[in-house]
Amino acid sequence: MMKKKFTTIKIKTLLFALFLFFGKFYSQTNNGAVGINTSSPNLNSVLDVVSGSNNKGILIPRITELQRNAIVINKPADDGLTIYNTTEDCFNYWSLADNEWKSVCGQLGKAVFTVDCSVSKAMGSYVKGKELTNSNYLTISVNVTKVGNYTISGTTSNGYNFYGTGVFLNTGVQKVQVLGQGTPQAIQTDNVTLEANGTEVTCTPAISISVLSPAGTYTMSCGSATVNGVYKVGTALSASNTITLPVNVSAIGSYTITTNTVDGISFSGSGTFTATGNQNITLSGTGTPASTSVKTITMTSDSQGGVSTTCSVNVIVVIPKKTVLHLGLETAYGYSAYTGPSRSLMDSPSNFGTTASSIVKYEGFNHISLGNSPSSAAVQTALNNKPDIVIIGYNYTPDATEAGYIANYLNKKGVVIALTDNTVAAQNLFLGIFSDPTISTSYGAGAGSVYALANTDDPILNGPFGDVRGKNWGEDASTTVNVSGLTSGFIPYSYAQPINNTTTRTGISGLRNNSLNFVWFGDGGFLSNENANGSQFNSNTIEPFVAPGSGGYFPVQKSAYGYAGNGFSAGSMQVQNSILFANMIAWAIQKSEFNGINTQ
């Protein structure tokens, strides 16, 4: 036993001596450099590793990012400490200067993110033999938990693929466009195989793409296209936002219809016609409206055979709420539109609302009323608060000071609808607004007078609630006021002469100024109807306003109105006061949104 122990000690001593000898030899002859698989290591290195058969590499410690972060750093001594980060799939080193771990893949390193397959999809149309363009891409929804570089690819076995790379600068949910390239070779449905930063992403179900046959021949019926759904600023389009487009197919095949992008939104549709003749196709919308402007969308088809391949359709975006200041007597008759059927007409979502069937796409009103006799100070304060629209009704009578406040409001692009049958009130308004001493007002015909409307193409005479050009409006229980001495800049809606009266009268009884947002009719009871349900009041000479609650307070004509005269029998005329008023409100909403006092 002792002999064996002695021999072991001798061997260890010999090996140690040899190590010291060769270490001293290499240190002396190679200036301290150590070589592995080389007898002449690089003189500028302390370690030179050579792959003897040129088929091997070097491994440094491989640890996760959590394990890396658990290292207790000795800052001066560990400057340059290097590891391979398996979480990031990249080399990292400790930087004393920046006091942090750095990635050699870039300062940010590789991003960490997950893919939400449920809202990721392929965009564009895919046709056999047609090379992919910039409209062919994958939109991939990701949730980034660590910023950095990313590479996303999608592959198919049908001659085309997708590839995208970039940098995520923020964490959170984001969407990435991964462009396609190549040419589909066969008519089939392809499942896309996704990879994200080199790791396969399993989507169930997979993102699928239908490759279509070559295009057929068809024409679009542009004038019959229907825009579906509600469009709202800041709200992304959903499955309900579509365009129904009638087409006439003369040769079967695939179809692809795309649109331009207008203010953040666009539409597209593709498929295969299996029969000729008239049929409807659906274009699906995408994007988020950025403004309330009307968007003219141009549709472009891939139809063959030299037929027309473009047409347009307008998309209406919901206008946000507006504040209305009411000045007038608050009674059930609805003189100021703060009460009565005229208020119900304004607040009806089928008239002004956000539903797909709303006549005017609009979020509704904030109503404020100062009543019939506010102080001048109250009027000034209210107008300085910049209401979007002001409606004046019976029997608010502004003095010269208040008329000046209203004029100042109009000059700042405020909107005023004035329905007044007091000569002093009308005189003050017109003189305050237009500063023309030649303007005068006078009383005209009385209750039950019927006035012919001009046959002029105008947004109030011919608006979303009806075309009343060449028709009539009716005076309520009082006496019509007429204005004379007007110069240019006015669109007359009606004159002083009633159709059912032979007494000669001059002046204008209804108008719109074409530079200011100002509409006026010379009757304070223009909106009068004491029936809360808005149904027609049984009288030929009073309450000409009709908007039945049973129809959603939709405005209709009063079918029997007017006193007898000038060849007309009592109640034989029809008047359109409620339709005119609804068109006024639609006009006022547009003006206040796009050219109003609060327009930015």
Residues 380 and 526 in one domain: yes
311 and 443 housed in the same domain: no
| Residue 465, token pair as written in the block | 């609630």
Same-domain pairing of 509 and 477: yes
Number of domains in the chain: 5
Dump pLDDT digits (tens) for 368-426.
999 999 999 999 999 999 999 999 999 999 999 999 999 999 999 999 999 999 999 99
**Per-residue pLDDT, 6:** 41
378 and 246 share a domain? no
Residue 265 falls inside a structural domain: yes
Choose one of 71, 92, 107: the last residue of a domain: 107
DSSP, collapsed to helix, strand or coil, labels residue 193 as strand
328 and 307 share a domain?
A: no
Q: Identify the pLDDT of residue 110.
A: 80
SS3 of 204-254: the string is CCCCEEEEECCECEEEECHHHCEEECCCECCCCCCCCCEEEEEEEEEECEE
Question: Which of 8-22, 40-54, 81-95, 240-254 has the highest average model confidence (pLDDT)?
Answer: 240-254
H-only helix segments in 293-352: 340-347
Percentages helix, strand, coil for the chain (3-state, rounded to 5) are 15, 35, 45
**183 plus 273 within the same structural domain:** no
Share of the chain above pLDDT 90, in %: 77
**DSSP result, 441-480:** EEE---TT-EEEPP----TTTEETTEE-TT-EEE--SS--
Mean pLDDT estimate for the chain: 91
| 298 shares a domain with 157 | no
What CATH number has the domain bearing residue 119?
2.60.40.10
Mean pLDDT of 293-318: 88
Residue 493 belongs to a domain with what CATH number?
Answer: 3.40.50
pLDDT at residue 310, as a whole number = 87
Q: What is the pLDDT of residue 191?
A: 96
191 with 143, same domain? yes
Helix (H) or strand (E) holding 411: helix 400-411
**Do 251 and 388 have their domain in common?**
no
In a domain, 600, yes or no: no
The dihedral built from the CA positions of residue 37, 41, 46 and 48, taken in this order, carries a sign that is negative
Last residue of a domain, one of 283, 315, 347: 315
Residue-range definition of the domain harbouring residue 286: 217-315
Using H for helix, E for strand and C for coil, what is the string for 12-26? HHHHHHHHHHHHHHH
β-bridge pairing 462-463 and 450-452: unpaired
Would residue 591 count as lying in a domain?
yes
* pTM to 2 decimal places: 0.69
Q: What confidence score (pLDDT) does residue 176 get?
A: 96
Instruction: Clarify whether residues 262 and 155 are in a common domain.
Output: no
For strands 137-146 and 112-123, give the pairing: antiparallel
Least confident span in 223-227, 372-376, 404-408, 454-458? 223-227
Residues 101 and 133 reside in one and the same domain = no
470 near 452, Cβ under 8 Å?
yes
Q: Which of 390, 555, 537, 567 minimizes the C-alpha distance to 477?
A: 537
Report the SS3 class of residue 346.
Answer: helix
Write the pLDDT tens digit of every residue in 555-575.
999 999 999 999 999 999 999
Of the residues 276, 296, 315, the one at which a domain ends? 315
* Mean pLDDT value across residues 154-159: 96
**What average pLDDT does this structure show over 318-323?**
96
DSSP 117-143: EEEEEEES-EETT----TT-EEEEEEE
Question: Looking at the structure, do residues 123 and 103 belong to the same domain, yes or no?
Answer: no
